[in-house]
Structure 1
Amino acid sequence: MGRRRKGRDISGWLVVDKPAGPTSTAVVNKVRWAFDAKKAGHAGTLDPDATGVLAVALGEATKTVPYITDAMKAYRFTVRFGQATNTDDAEGEVIAESDARPSDDEIRAALPQFTGDIMQVPPQFSAVKIDGERAYKRARDGEEMELAARPLFVEELEMVERPDADHAVVEMVCGKGGYVRAIARDLGQALGCHGHVTDLRRVWSGPFEAEDGVSLAQIEELAKSPELDAYLRPLEDGLADLPELRATPEGAAKLRNGNPGMVLTSEAEYGDEAWASYEGRAVAVGTYRAGELHPSRVFNQ
């Protein structure tokens, strides 16, 4: 018989405005401790030096993590021209330099090639797995790897500030799996001057915005108190990008047991992924078929 996990049966989302320094895993562990929660996870890793939205799911909300991971995200970052680093950010060693600096017009002209559906090679120091091992572990040992390009959808990419000749501030809206460091690296290469990221902030992720986030200092101050519980957002926020179906009482009972259940008409079309609610609470996620939801995930709340 497996050991029962200690902690509270508490479910929901906490939007953390992550500071520079701690890893995403460290933030999740802090949140789990502060809520005394049995289970916690996050939707999309941020590098230690990055700031902004880190959406942390507790309890049953962890079942909705894939929908936030897959959602569109917005970043604001600073590119430093004239230097390439082995990590593609300011933490790495400078491996190439250039005296060339692009004009504003040259930067704007180069950005469209990194929008739409593109192929992106991840940084050498990344969490991509190669033969079961993380790339960053091999990179730390001095190994240079041929990483395969991966598809990425970039909806928007715009220069919003030019503080000086060495730097440009860029905003990007993209889909799942994007590496901002790779954008800065490739932009520098396209402009013939090298480049890396010096500052990175995730402004929003799906329905969650940094300006609504809780700081680590607040989490520590309010730990294990009702005041911290008040910051918890409902599990249903993680399903914002899916159509909602209203379950009938009989349908909700069937769905809770993992069986197809009757739902009321909505905007969902046959075969769509959707979620069913009953009395305002999420019951299940699944596939909509002719008046029924066929569940793939069931929520115990």
Structure 2
Amino acid sequence: MAHGWIILDKPLGLGSTQAVAAVKRNLREAGYGKKVKVGHGGTLDPLASGILPVALGEATKLTGRMLDASKIYEFSVRFGEETDTLDLEGKVIATSEVRPTAEQAKAVLERFTGPIEQVPPMYSALKIDGERAYDLARAGVEVEMKSRSVTVFDLALLRFDEAEGATFVAHVSKGTYIRSLARDIARALGTCGTVTLLRRIKAGPFDLSHAISLDKLNEFGKGAPLEQILLPLEAGLDDIPAIDLTPEQAGAVRQGRVLTGMPHEDGLYCGFEGATPVALVQLTDHEVRVVRGFNLSDVAE
């Protein structure tokens, strides 16, 4: 049984669902059939590329944590036009003759760093009265998108070209829409803008150094060893300290029992028996309680 992470460098034009389907297809072709659970840790639009964490087996229990993790994006904005989708897929709805300078672009970034309010794009996967916003938009239904609170931890100008526009890098919290951020930066500069490139370069603990191409994934489907593309389950927990468990303690944790007398500070830990992750545990007042257990007894099958 396979447990762990395949980190795809998702190409342009491929949706997240299609990317996950490609992983499932290659697992079937490699002889795993349908017995491996597969999930992903963060949607990427077809017009976006980059890091898409795909969880297998017991790692699917961590996809919620991956969805909540901060992410880093590179994105390019061409000034002078705004589309209804805020990217190249949409139709132009506003134009401006104003073209900012690099110095002006740098100067406004402080306004968009830290906790901010932003209005999500109408063409987004947010649900409004049970319907996806992009479905309502495509049907011609006008809906007022409500402002939401997000955090931009860091925002910097990477490159600037008077003709092509600006390229930024942003480290953002869960729920941040980069297309909205680009729209608002352009408007703060007295113009309008459209995202021409969007690339996720980090999601949680995973960056491009962990990522494989679709070609590499397809090699696995044709017989290459799974070990060449699969990261262990605990790779998704690099931001959580480990706690060592004795075989007796590990057995108790697997049964959901509370451990007492643990000499550690309060907090979230990953409990290990040797090299095998047993569970995410919460330690409070020297007591350990299971948050999420992992059934890795079949890891060698």
1:280 corresponds to which residue? 275
Q: Runs of 5+ in structure 2 lacking a partner?
A: 297-301
Spell out, residue by residue over 1:93-144, the C-alpha distance to the aligned partner (whole angstroms, 9 max, x if none). Answer: 1000011111112111111111101111110000111111111110111122
Q: Is 1:299 paired with 2:297?
A: no
Check whether the contact 1:250–1:262 (CA below 8 A) recurs between aligned residues: no
Check whether the contact 1:53–1:205 (CA below 8 A) recurs between aligned residues: yes
Which consecutive segments of 4 or more residues in structure 1 shift more than 6 A?
none
Check whether the contact 2:88–2:196 (CA below 8 A) recurs between aligned residues: yes
- Per the TM alignment, residue 226 of structure 1 is displaced from its structure 2 partner at its CA by 4.6
What's the RMSD between the two structures over aligned residues? 1.6
Check whether the contact 2:41–2:63 (CA below 8 A) recurs between aligned residues: yes
TM-score, with length taken from structure 2: 0.92
Q: Distance in 2 between matches of 1:260 and 1:31?
A: 37
Query: Aligned residues: percent identity?
Result: 43
Secondary structure class of the residue paired with 1:188: helix
Check whether the contact 1:260–1:292 (CA below 8 A) recurs between aligned residues: yes
2:98 corresponds to which residue? 100
1:211 corresponds to which residue? 209
Alignment counterpart, residue 239 of structure 1, candidates 237, 240, 246: 237
Q: Distance in 1 between matches of 2:132 and 2:98?
A: 34
> Which residue identity lines up with residue 193 of structure 1 in the other structure?
T
2:227 corresponds to which residue? 229
> Which residue identity lines up with residue 198 of structure 2 in the other structure?
L
Secondary structure class of the residue paired with 1:261: coil
> Which residue identity lines up with residue 175 of structure 2 in the other structure?
G
- Per the TM alignment, residue 224 of structure 1 is displaced from its structure 2 partner at its CA by 5.8
> Which residue identity lines up with residue 195 of structure 1 in the other structure?
G
1:37-186 alignment runs, 5 A limit: 38-186=36-184
Alignment counterpart, residue 25 of structure 1, candidates 17, 23, 34: 17
Spell out, residue by residue over 1:254-281, the C-alpha distance to the aligned partner (whole angstroms, 9 max, x if none). Answer: 1112222358544xx32x2222111111
Aligned length: 290
Check whether the contact 2:101–2:162 (CA below 8 A) recurs between aligned residues: no
Q: Distance in 1 between matches of 2:227 and 2:138?
A: 40
Check whether the contact 1:15–1:214 (CA below 8 A) recurs between aligned residues: yes
2:299 corresponds to which residue? none
> Which residue identity lines up with residue 110 of structure 1 in the other structure?
V
Q: Is 1:11 paired with 2:3?
A: yes
Check whether the contact 1:246–1:264 (CA below 8 A) recurs between aligned residues: no
Q: Distance in 2 between matches of 1:262 and 1:246?
A: 14
Q: Distance in 2 between matches of 1:210 and 1:13?
A: 14
- Per the TM alignment, residue 189 of structure 1 is displaced from its structure 2 partner at its CA by 1.3
Q: Is 1:194 paired with 2:192?
A: yes
Check whether the contact 1:287–1:293 (CA below 8 A) recurs between aligned residues: yes
Spell out, residue by residue over 1:28-54, the C-alpha distance to the aligned partner (whole angstroms, 9 max, x if none). Answer: 111122123521111111110111110
TM-score, with length taken from structure 1: 0.92
Spell out, residue by residue over 1:158-215, the C-alpha distance to the aligned partner (whole angstroms, 9 max, x if none). Answer: 1110122441011111111111111111111111210111001111112211233111
Q: Distance in 1 between matches of 2:73 and 2:110?
A: 17
Q: Distance in 2 between matches of 1:63 and 1:293?
A: 19
> Which residue identity lines up with residue 6 of structure 2 in the other structure?
L
Q: Distance in 2 between matches of 1:235 and 1:263?
A: 28
